[in-house]
Amino acid sequence: MNWERLLDVVREEGLQLVVQHLELVGISLFIAIIVALPVGILVTRFPLDRYAPQILAFLNTAQGVPSLAVVAIFLPIMGIGRVPSLFALTIYALLPIARNTIAGIEGVDPDVMEAARGMGMSPRRVLLRIELPLALPVIIAGIQTSAVLTVGTATLAHLIAGGGLGRLIFSGISMHRPEYIIAGSLMTAALAILIDQVIGLIHRWISARYSG
């Protein structure tokens, strides 16, 4: 074990890999939000709303599928590289966001909903002015979970040549260089904590504004 070597690794490749990693996380999270939010909303609308509890249960279970399995499943279909990596990460990031969108909207006080509809707000207006703002803290919490998960999962992208901090970890394993493994893991963990804190800050700010 050579500590100087560890610092060298961080200096030489660290920044580039962190940027790559953040790209993977950022892009897949962005797409996941764009897809999961409308899907989540759709599930709470007629006629799907009747099945919302079942869909919620399915999403909770699906979250249990190991991230490695998700990456592995798409390997034979999509091959290797950046795009397949992003695709697998996006799929994995979708679940917490969709789940929390549904749970957040379903969790809006039924009396508030009845008052809103009873005063003659259109369903669209109720969604935009009442349901989404009130569900927003829960939705943000979903994005937070998703982001942290994705930072970890994105290390697997290296396995299908997607780049990112996984490269340090996996080359460390194959070359028996513990300093590589430690550098990669620490940087990934730090990134996860940082992102968690930033979104947590946004979450608290939004909760203070929209809580009931």
Partner 1 sequence: MIQFNRVTKRYSSMARPAVDGLSLDVREGETCVFVGPSGCGKTTTLKMINRIFEPTAGEIFVNGENVLTQDQDQLRQGIGYVIQKTGLFPHYTVFENVATVPRLLKWEEGRVAARVRELLELVGLDPDENMQKFPRELSGGQSQRVGVARAMAADPPVMLMDEPFGAVDPITRTQLQNEFLTLQQKVRKTICFVTHDIDEAIKMGDRIAIMNHGQLVQYDTPENLLLAPADDFVAEFIGSDRSLKVLSLLPVRKVLKRQFRMVSETAELSTVRASFDASERNRLVVEDERGNLVGYVSRSDMDKAGSARGWNRFIKPFPAFLPPEATLRDALAVMLQHDIGAVPVMEGRRRFMGMIYLDDIRSYVGEAYQERDSDSSTQEGA
Residues that bind partner 1 (CB under 8 A): 109, 111-122, 125, 130, 133-134, 209-212
Q: How far is the CB of 73 from partner 1 (least distance, A)?
A: 41
From CA 30, how far away is CA 178, in angstroms rounded?
A: 33
Closest CA to 164 of 172, 152, 174, 177: 152
CB atoms within 10 A of CB 39: 16
Residue with smaller CB distance to partner 1, 125 or 204: 125
Q: How far is the CB of 131 from partner 1 (least distance, A)?
A: 11
Q: How far is the CB of 138 from partner 1 (least distance, A)?
A: 13
Q: How far is the CB of 205 from partner 1 (least distance, A)?
A: 14
Residue with smaller CB distance to partner 1, 62 or 121: 121
Query: If you write DSSP's letter for every residue of 147-199 in order, what string do you get?
Result: HHHHHHHGGGGGGGT--STHHHHHHHHHHT-HHHHHHHHHHHHHHHHHHHHHH
Residue with smaller CB distance to partner 1, 12 or 114: 114
Q: Which two tokens stand for residue 170?
A: 């996996």
Residue with smaller CB distance to partner 1, 62 or 206: 206
